[in-house]
Homo-oligomer: A and B are copies of this chain.
Amino acid sequence: MSLPDKSRLADAAALINRFIHRTTVMSANSFNKTYGVQAFFKCENFQRMGAFKMRGASHAIASLTEEQRRAGVVTHSSGNFAQAVALAAKLHGIRATVVMPDNAPVVKTEAVRGYGAEIIFSGPSPQSREEKVAAIMTNSDMPFIHPSNDLMVILGNSTATKELVEDIPDLEVVIAPVGGGGLIAGTALAAHAFGPGIEVWGAEPENVDDAYRSLKSGQIEYNTSADTIADGLRTHLGDINFPIIRQLVSGIFLVSEAEILDAMWWVWQRMKIIIEPSSAVAVAAVVRYRQQLAGKRIGIILSGGNADIRHLATIS
């Protein structure tokens, strides 16, 4: 597969410009001193609806023709992508239908409904979810948008790193968390297009290390456990993002659950910003692999801030 080039990525950025925030980049002297790096945090926790997913959802919907989107769009997600599609659809003036597991937290289903989307509940298993999506697709003309394995979503996600590279010159490494693979693929495309020579690394919980194993084996591997606090990273790669990741990502840093919680807590307390556990995975990677990263200028994608603060404050 030939990779989308610079101009394709720039088009994506222009297309979603009015639907998203250009988020700030923060740095923290105390982090740099403690860990011996120069870290730059791309704050997608400040993105609309609270996560980078807004970029991919906006680009996927904006890329449809008028006629395609007239019927509305369908997605499935228990997390941030549900809210992202709901909000992006609202901003485009179209309908959205979101398949969510019936054990999704009420705060998330309320947020999705708050943006005006319709929720159709499935059972909690991936199989039940896919059956429900298939049933909807059979009876409808609505395009389906996959949360991570969709090139239009990946191109939308790439815009975060495009902005980061524009704002912070001479980055040497960019690190993003890896779940379904849509963020790391977009990150890698933008880093290579706009910052040649930048190494892109993924960060993943040890307990759901499917991407790490996939890069080793050369084929998409799956998780047998979902036992991580980083609930956005429990999914596996897909056939559209995996080839991009294989070609452009240098490797995956693995971190423990304790390291994720420590990193999250450090960012909350010291940087005074709320990040969700999935974002903390990328921070924890810098802490754990600081000798390998010593002295480097590192971009860290803080993917989102939709954290259950009350619960996490009691366990971290």
Contacts and interface: CB of A to CB of B under 8 A. Distances in A.
Most B Cβ at <10 Å: residue of A24, A271, A309, A314: A309
B45 A272 contact: yes
A18 interface: no
Interface string A248-286: 000000000000000000001101111100000000000
* Majority-rule SS of A interface residues: helix
Nearest to A28: B46
23 contacts: A26-B46, A29-B48, A45-B272, A46-B271, A46-B272, A50-B272, A268-B274, A268-B309, A269-B274, A269-B309, A272-B273, A272-B274, A272-B275, A273-B273, A273-B274, A274-B274, A309-B309, A309-B313, A310-B313, A310-B314, A313-B313, A313-B314, A314-B314
Nearest to A276: B272
A74 B24 CA distance: 38
A305 interface: yes
A42 to B, nearest CB: 13
A268 B276 CA distance: 12
A309 B274 CA distance: 11
A269 B271 CA distance: 15
Interface string A88-132: 000000000000000000000000000000000000000000000
Contacts of A309: 268-269, 309, 313
